[in-house]
């Protein structure tokens, strides 16, 4: 970070980077930076927030990654499912130990035992047992509420439905669902045979499996579990020590990790973490560190938690493994938006469990900053232990007469002259075949239209031999030609691989099913920059149908920018007044830059024409109707939310209000019925007091809504 940069500008840049990396990690399963680098960014962001006195309510990323998925029932956690603080060195573990001792009023030499457990790289889940029977399973979600995945957990067979020897009381047991490496390999073998996109890694494979709407699809897929914590319990007598609680869970028939180990002090905890790195490659499952917990659970309540993590535990993250290899070439990869990304071809090297022969170079500015050259010996690591990346050049091993690598002047796929924008280079040709294939991959992905059977070779053949020119072309396929479509060159036996009758029937079934996915999934599948899953859901919920979205986008571009769905934190009084005059309700969470780009794309002739083709092919261009159980006296009432509420997020409060028949708006006027105010409410609260609008706190809101 340049030292001359103003703190406010640096804060904006880092927030943008955090959002970008969170999207890659949580939604796309392709992180570009290591955990330690992300944590350094996050720490700097928090330093700047403190320096600039940014309110908690306006800070980005207060909750852990959100795994909630549309179509699942949302359940509130009785005890928040927080993430753990992280440490990367013995010094950081010592600081954790010192902080624990200070809070417990213990001297440096007083006994303090810990339990150290492998940190399973899977999907966090909380399972509630009542009278010993499994009654509910909930994903982490955003830490406050998660998705009900009870049916999926039962179908997986990962945990027993009835505990052994437990016939009364209730408890919530938390742990990780995971895919063993062998199960991951087998699933990818099946996906290869079916021609569908492969799972990126076991963690995301497990998460995707547990979010299948049809729970029967989870049966027999190899999902397993390790349980590691009792979050709460009623009417049960449990031991106080964590090690004894793990033994209790084992006796009850729940799978626990046999490698969990009690240790006498923090030095022994660090030593076990170091020793376990030798064991790590031999495991049948992935781990991404170790977890160190205070053994005496009676201390947990005394230690408490921050808004982000409990103070009684810490995750020790292993140092990222780095290996030397030689960079053979740099090829240009074309993305769905036309972005031209440099990718390194490497002499194969074994890194973190797999052989790596290609690695990300991120962008052309980063490549120039590192001065990577063909023939260099480079250091390679896996960002997030998933995506290989070149992190440095071993300059002392650089051969003579190497040359810097220049930015591409043209697209390697279509030959169009490339354009540079900031740190990125783009192919501006929307008809570029490489872009089209990436857009088709994205459109068919599970997060968008979820169309199975469209692997890389199939999409290549559809574009090359059947002339598919857009996602709409998938619904216009000549079905009679599909069985004979060649999807692979000659095999060793001299035969060509054709699509066949079975694949044709399966693809037609998948395409038919996708027609009813609805507006939000369709918008998310368009591949428009910044129009992801959340923004698409927001648009579908607010406008209900494509025609309304288009009308709004066109009005916005015609100059009615006061109608934008947010807006920035630097709202002027004139802009606010103009919004009120127009009667336009803002949507929280979308800034003007994002809105400009998204609405410009949505109103473009190419997208409008594409949506017409979708409609002609029978796709639903509307959002499913929401059933609202209006409460007497609430229907039609207008609410304004301001400040930070004690337990409800803004989204949760909005959901409570709209579910009761009310509506939320972004500004206070004489027409406002209620202002719901939390901590640091600011000018909206003052405006409500001035106008005599009824003011509620969180408790008052809950009582009003019943």
- Predicted local distance difference test score (pLDDT) of residue 706: 73
The answer on pLDDT for 585 being more than 60 is no
What is the per-residue pLDDT for 55?
67
pLDDT band, very low/low/confident/very high, at 604 (cuts 50, 70, 90): very high
Confidence check: pLDDT of 498 > 90: no
The Cα 227–Cα 250 span in angstroms is 9
- Residue 227 is predicted with a pLDDT of 98
Residue 275's pLDDT band (cuts 50, 70, 90): very high
Taking alpha carbons only, the member of 21, 31, 85 closest to residue 385 is 31
pLDDT in tens, 48-92: 777 777 766 567 764 445 677 767 888 889 998 988 999 989 999
In 3D space, the residue among 200, 19, 345, 192 whose CA is nearest the CA of residue 11 turns out to be 19
pLDDT of residue 508: 94
What is the tens place of the pLDDT at every residue in 354-377? 788 888 888 888 888 889 999 999
CA terminus-to-terminus distance, the chain: 50
Average pLDDT over residues 395-404: 91
Of residues 157 and 208, more confidently modeled: 157
Round the average pLDDT of the chain to a whole number and report it: 84
The pLDDT value given to residue 424? 85
CA distance linking residue 210 with residue 208, whole number of Å = 6
* Residue owning tokens 């890389």: 456
Q: Residues 119, 261, 382, 534: which is the catalytic one?
A: 119
Q: Between vectors from CA 612 to CA 608 and to CA 615, what angle results, nearest 5°? A: 140
- Res. 566 pLDDT band, cuts 50 70 90: very low
Q: What is the pLDDT of residue 297?
A: 95
Cα gap 84→300, rounded to integer Å: 14
* Minimum mean pLDDT range among 327-336, 393-402, 419-428, 467-476: 419-428
Give per-residue burial for 563-580: e unless 16+ CB within 10 Å, then b.
bbbbbeeeeeeebbeebb
Can you spell out the DSSP letters for 255-294? ---TT-EEESSHHHHHHHHHHHHHHGGG-SS-EEEEEEEE
Q: pLDDT at position 653, please? A: 80
pLDDT at 249 over 80: yes
Residue 523, pLDDT > 80, answer yes
Residue 236 phi, psi dihedral angles, 5° rounding: -135, 140
At 565 the pLDDT is 43
Among candidate residues 316, 126, 308, 141, the one with its CA nearest the CA of residue 230: 126
- Cα 520–Cα 522–Cα 526 angle in degrees, nearest 5: 115
What pLDDT does 24 receive? 66
pLDDT of 98: 96
Q: Are the CB atoms for 58 and 569 separated by under 8 Å?
A: yes
The pLDDT assigned to 647 comes to 74
pLDDT at 651: 64
Q: Tell me phi and psi for residue 225, to 5 degrees.
A: -145, 150
Q: Left if phi > 0, otherwise alpha if psi is -120 to 50, otherwise beta: which for 469?
A: alpha
84: CB partners within 8 A, 6+ apart: 291, 309, 310, 313, 314, 315
Residue with tokens 């973490």: 273
Least confidently predicted of 114-123, 329-338, 636-645, 652-661: 652-661
Q: Is 687 a catalytic residue?
A: no
Model pLDDT for residues 179-192, shown as the tens digit of each residue: 999 999 898 888 77
Per DSSP (E only), the strands in 445-584 are: 486-488, 497-498
The least confident of 12-16, 210-214, 418-422 is: 12-16
CB 405 within 8 A of CB 342: yes
Mean pLDDT of 381-388: 71
Lowest model confidence (mean pLDDT) among 234-238, 468-472, 555-559, 610-614: 555-559
566 vs 164 pLDDT, higher one = 164
Tell me, yes or no, if the pTM score tops 0.85.
no
pLDDT band at 351 (very low <50, low <70, confident <90, very high): confident
Q: Per-residue pLDDT averaged across 297-302, rounded?
A: 92
Determine the pLDDT at residue 642.
Answer: 83
Residues 176 and 105: beta-carbon distance below 8 Å = no
Domains and CATH numbers, the chain: 7-58 (1.10.287.610), 74-316 (3.30.470.30), 323-426 (2.40.50.140), 433-514 (1.10.150.20), 519-616 (no CATH), 638-705 (3.40.50.10190)
Examine the pLDDT at 574 and tell me if it is beyond 50. no
List pLDDT tens digits, range 663-676.
Answer: 887 778 888 999 99
Task: Report the alpha-carbon distance of residue 473 to residue 619 in Å, rounded.
Answer: 12
Q: At what angle do helices 592-602 and 546-557 cross, to 10 degrees?
A: 120
Pairing of strands 377-383, 323-334: antiparallel
In this prediction, residues 92-100 reach a mean pLDDT of 96
- What whole-number percentage of the chain has pLDDT above 90? 45
């Amino acid at each position: 970070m340049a030292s001359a940069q103003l703190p406010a500008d640096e804060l904006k840049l880092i927030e943008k980077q955090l959002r970008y990396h969170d999207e890659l990690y949580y939604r796309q399963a392709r992180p570009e930076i290591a955990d330690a680098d992300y944590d350094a960014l996050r720490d700097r962001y928090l330093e700047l927030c403190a320096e600039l006195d940014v309110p908690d309510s306006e800070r980005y990323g207060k909750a852990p990654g959100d795994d909630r998925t549309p179509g699942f029932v949302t359940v509130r956690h009785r005890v928040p499912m927080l993430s753990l603080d992280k440490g990367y060195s013995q010094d950081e573990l010592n600081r954790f130990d010192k902080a624990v001792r200070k809070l417990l009023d213990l001297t440096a030499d007083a006994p303090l035992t810990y339990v150290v457990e492998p940190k399973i790289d899977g999907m966090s889940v909380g399972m509630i047992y009542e009278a010993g029977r499994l009654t509910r399973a909930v994903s982490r979600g955003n830490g406050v509420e998660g998705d009900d995945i009870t049916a999926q957990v039962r179908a997986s067979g990962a945990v027993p439905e009835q505990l052994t020897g437990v016939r009364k009381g209730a408890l919530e047991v938390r742990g990780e669902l995971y895919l063993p490496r062998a199960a991951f390999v087998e699933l990818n073998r099946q996906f290869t045979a079916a021609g569908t996109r492969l799972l990126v890694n076991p963690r995301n494979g497990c998460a995707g499996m547990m979010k299948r709407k049809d729970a029967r699809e989870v049966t027999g897929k190899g999902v397993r579990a390790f349980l590691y914590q009792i979050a709460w319990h009623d009417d049960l007598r449990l031991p106080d020590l964590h090690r004894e609680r793990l033994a209790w869970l084992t006796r009850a028939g729940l799978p626990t990790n046999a490698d969990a180990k009690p240790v006498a002090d923090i030095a022994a905890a660090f030593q076990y973490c170091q020793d376990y790195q030798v064991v790590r490659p031999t495991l049948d499952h992935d781990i991404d560190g170790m977890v160190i917990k205070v053994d005496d659970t009676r201390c947990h309540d005394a230690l408490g938690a921050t808004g982000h993590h409990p103070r009684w535990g810490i995750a020790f993250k292993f140092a990222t493994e780095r290996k030397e290899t030689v960079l053979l070439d740099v090829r240009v990869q074309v993305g769905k938006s036309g972005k031209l990304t440099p990718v390194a071809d490497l002499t194969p090297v074994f890194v973190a469990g797999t052989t790596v022969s290609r690695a990300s170079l991120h962008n052309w500015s980063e490549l120039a900053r590192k001065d990577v050259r063909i023939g260099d010996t480079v250091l390679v690591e896996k960002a997030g232990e998933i995506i290989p990346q070149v992190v440095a050049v071993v300059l002392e091993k650089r051969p003579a007469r190497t040359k810097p690598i220049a930015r591409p002047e043209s697209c390697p796929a279509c030959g169009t002259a490339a354009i540079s924008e900031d740190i990125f280079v783009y192919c501006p040709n929307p008809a570029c075949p490489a872009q089209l294939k990436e857009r088709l991959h994205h459109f068919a992905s599970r997060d968008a239209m979820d169309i199975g059977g469209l692997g890389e070779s199939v999409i290549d053949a559809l574009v090359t031999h059947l002339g598919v020119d857009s996602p709409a072309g998938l619904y216009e396929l000549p079905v009679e030609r599909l069985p004979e479509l060649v999807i692979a060159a000659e095999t060793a036996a001299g035969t060509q691989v054709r699509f066949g009758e079975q694949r044709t029937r399966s693809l037609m079934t998948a395409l038919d099913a996708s027609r009813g996915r609805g507006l939000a999934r369709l918008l998310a599948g368009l591949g428009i920059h910044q129009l992801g899953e959340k923004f698409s859901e927001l648009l579908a919920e607010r406008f209900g149908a494509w025609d309304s979205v288009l009308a709004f986008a066109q009005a916005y571009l015609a100059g009615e920018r006061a109608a934008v769905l947010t807006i920035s934190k630097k709202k002027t009084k004139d802009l606010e007044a103009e919004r009120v005059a127009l009667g336009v309700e803002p949507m929280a969470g979308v800034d003007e830059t994002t809105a400009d780009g998204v609405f410009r794309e949505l109103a473009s002739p190419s997208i409008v024409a594409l949506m017409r083709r979708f409609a002609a092919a029978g796709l639903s261009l509307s959002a499913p109707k929401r059933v609202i159980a209006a409460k007497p006296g609430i229907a039609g009432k207008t609410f304004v939310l301001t400040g930070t509420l004690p337990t409800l997020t803004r989204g949760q409060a909005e959901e409570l209000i709209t579910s009761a028949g009310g509506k939320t708006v972004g500004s206070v006027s004489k027409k406002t019925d209620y202002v719901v105010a939390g901590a640091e409410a600011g000018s909206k609260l003052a405006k409500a007091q001035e106008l005599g609008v009824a003011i509620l706190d969180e408790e008052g809101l809950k009582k009003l809504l019943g």
